Amino acid sequence: MVKVPDGELKAPELRRMIKEHNKLMSIKIPPKTEMKRKPIVKLPPAPAKKTKEEKDMAKKEKIVKQKAKDEEGYQKVKKQVDAVKKIGEKRQARKVPKGSHRMPDGTIMKDADMPKAKEIATQTEPEKPMKMSDKELMDAYGYYKVGKLNEILDSLEGTSRAGGGSKLAKLKKIMKFGGLKKLKKVE
């Protein structure tokens, strides 16, 4: 005989349970008998259906509320825009004193503070690098050792000895960053 683990039903017990279940399921309460069952839970009455007029009124109220909300938001933004315009008008309304002028950003600048035409012309432009072929470059500066070229590259602003492998590449890099003044040309 097979031993049934604890807590499980044996076959005869299971058959009895099924039989009882089927009996309970087959019981039918005849309709409209004198003995009526009381409802277990009382349901609230169904809400009354709205008429077409009530629905239309609700829609109109919703639209009116939305318009009022939109108008309120518009007024708030308009108020801010008007305040900004008012500030701009005040800036424009300020008179420019004699010997001064108004800059494009609205500020006032004295004419004496403006750079003179002569000063602009005398400003030095950055020195344009000389154009040399690779052969001319190697003939003029090829005697430098790579270590010395690396030191020159490190001293220049915006460069470093990293990269540039060959002597020619390092010379070109020095020339590009305006370091030819630091090199001495062989004549």
- Does residue 1 surpass a pLDDT of 60? yes
CA angle 20, 25, 29 (to 5 degrees): 125
- pLDDT, residue 30, reads 67
d(CA 52, CA 177): 84
What are the residue boundaries of the structural domains of the chain, listed by start? 56-116, 134-182
- Average pLDDT on 179-183 reads 73
Q: Which is more confident, 64 or 90?
A: 64
pLDDT class for 60, splitting at 50, 70, 90?
very high
Q: Range with the lowest mean pLDDT among 33-37, 67-71, 94-98?
A: 33-37
- Average pLDDT on 124-141 reads 68
- Average pLDDT on 119-145 reads 65
- pLDDT, residue 125, reads 52
Q: Which is more confident, 158 or 60?
A: 60
- pLDDT, residue 62, reads 95
152 exposed, middle or buried (CB, 10 Å; 0-12, 13-18, 19+)? buried
**Residues sharing a CB contact under 8 Å with residue 9, sequence separation 6 or more, in sequence order:** 17
- Does residue 161 surpass a pLDDT of 70? no
d(CA 173, CA 18): 96
Tens digits of residue pLDDT in 6-48 = 888 888 999 999 999 999 888 876 666 555 667 778 888 888 8
- C-alpha of 91 from chain center: 34
Which of 21-30, 69-78, 129-138, 142-151 is predicted most confidently? 69-78
> CA dihedral in degrees (74, 77, 80, 86; nearest 10)?
-60
Tens digits of residue pLDDT in 109-129 = 888 887 766 555 455 555 555
Buried b (16+ CB within 10 A) or exposed e, 134-146: eeebeebbeebee
